[in-house]
Amino acid sequence: MTSPFNSGPDEAVGRLLRDALEPAHHAAFVTRMAAAVRAEARETTWDILAGWARPGVAAAAAIALTLAMWLAQSRAPEGAVVTIADAVESSVPTLLLSGGADAGTDAVLAAMVGDR
Amino acid sequence: MRTSSVADAELARRAASGDGGAFGALVDRHAPAVRRAARALLGNEHDADDAAQDGLLAAWRAIDRYDPARPFRPWLMRIVLNAARDLQRRGIVRRAEPISPAEAAPGMSPERETDRALIRDKVARALARLPERQRLAVTMFDAEGFAHAEIADALGIPEGTVRSDVFHARRALREALGSLLEETR
């Protein structure tokens, strides 16, 4: 004798259940999902770019600081020790932002050509 | 190539490489079943659609972790049902609403619409009286044609438990819907 636990699907029960649970507006649902997936893909792309941007900004800041220290060291008198604070103070961005007497095209040019 | 003839695993592989269209074809193919199962669990069409959308988006995010050696439907169903349970846990499901005749069968005569709405309402109520696991097991087995093993995989329970749940759910539904079932046969 076949066990009642092993019987196949009951077509009549299945039909009634499908009818009672039938979702409306299939096409609209699929369209909404496609838009959500596209939005998700865009968001992911921006997340990746944002992920790259943070270390990029940190690296640029580190390079600028190193450059500023190198410039300050090359301008300092023989034997003088240049600190990070000196380097930041005398760096081109600081001069330009502070609008001090040294600011202007001379400072930018000096930063570009160094002591040549 | 027409996506209707492409196997789920192949569409999933394409989707994993970023092909949104391939994922769209999977959604088109499986949305009716996952929406019905979510509705069987939550008892409300709007909540079911929210859960189905959350679950399908979660599947899109996780598509590169799908193992093509295994059937796609139970994998997708498990994700959607998890989303539905999550919605349920957060307590933001709406109260189940009776089905309106217009929603039940647009374009039918008013008498037939009313009859059909009443039948759907009666079936929905009978289903709602079952324990959650039995509701899902009988819906997936009888309405969606899942195998016992696939249901066990999707629900994370032993296959023997699925067989027992289907049996008890069906018996309760037959008792509640006796005459309706006879008319349908």
Q: Which long-range contacts (CB under 8 A, 24 or more apart) does A92-95 make?
A: A92/A68, A93/A64
A17·B142 Cβ contact <8 A:
yes
Please determine, for residue B104, whether its predicted confidence score (pLDDT) is greater than 80: no
Q: What is the mean pLDDT of chain A?
A: 74
- pLDDT value of residue B96: 54
3-class SS string, A37-103: HHHHHHHHHHHHHHHHHHHHHHHHHHHHHHHHHHHHHHHCCCCCCCCHHHHHHHCHHHHHHHCCCCC
CA–CA–CA angle A44, A49, A50 (5° rounding): 95
Confidence check: pLDDT of A73 > 90: no
Q: What number of other Cβ atoms are within 10 A of residue B48's Cβ? A: 25
CA angle A42, A46, A51 (to 5 degrees): 145
Residue A9 with chain B: CB contacts under 8 Å: 141-142, 145
What fold is seen in the domain B1-96?
A: Rna Polymerase Sigma Factor; Chain: A (1.10.1740)
* pLDDT higher than threshold 80 for residue B164: yes
Instruction: Write down the pLDDT at residue B1.
Output: 54
- Of the pLDDT bands very low, low, confident and very high (cuts 50, 70, 90), residue A42 is low
Query: What pLDDT shows up at residue A99?
Result: 59
A13 and B174 within 8 Å at the Cβ level: the answer is: yes
Among chain A residues, CA nearest to B18? A41
Both tokens of B31, joined, read: 């949305």
Q: Is the pLDDT of residue B14 over 80?
A: yes
Is residue B144 within 8 A of residue B36, CB to CB? The reply is yes
Q: Write down the pLDDT at residue A57.
A: 74
> What ipTM was reported for this prediction?
0.84
The A-side interface with B (CB below 8 A) comprises 4-6, 9-24, 26, 29-30, 32-34, 36-38, 40-41
The larger pLDDT score, comparing residue A53 to residue A92, is at: A53
Contact assessment for residue B53 and residue B31, using Cβ atoms and an 8 Å cutoff: no
Confidence label for B108 from pLDDT (cuts 50, 70 and 90): low
- More confident call, A56 vs B7: B7
Within 8 A of B24 by CB-CB distance, chain A residues are 30, 33-34, 37
* B181 contacts A16? CB cut-off 8 A: yes
Predicted pLDDT of residue B97: 55
At residue B152 the predicted structure's pLDDT band, cuts being 50, 70 and 90, is: very high
